[in-house]
Amino acid sequence: IDDRVFKTTVKSGHDIMLIEELEVLKQKGFRCIPLTKIRPDAIAIKDGKVYALELEKNHPDYDKYTSPSNPYDDVIWIIKKSRGEKG
């Protein structure tokens, strides 16, 4: 697993098993991103970088990705105004 992965969050038994299995894949050369806590709307990959894709209404929720354990290289924010809102 990427070293930034959720080391400070409480994990369920399932999450712990997942982390252990992903660690095996990491040792085989994979880059793994567990989806245990932060769930972006999509994951985009380009030029070897992994991006969280977030579609938000009106403004981004930056707090979702402030943890040092955030496994993404960057976040792509797509901000849409609520229907009926002008501007």
Q: Is the dihedral of CA 36, 38, 41, 43 positive or negative?
A: negative
Provide the whole-model pTM.
0.62
Report whether 50 contacts 76 (CB < 8 A): no
Q: Which two three-digit tokens encode residue 23?
A: 């660690």
CA 48 from centroid of its chain's CA atoms: 15
Task: Tell me the pLDDT tens digit for each residue of 18-57.
Answer: 888 888 988 998 888 777 665 788 889 999 999 999 988 8
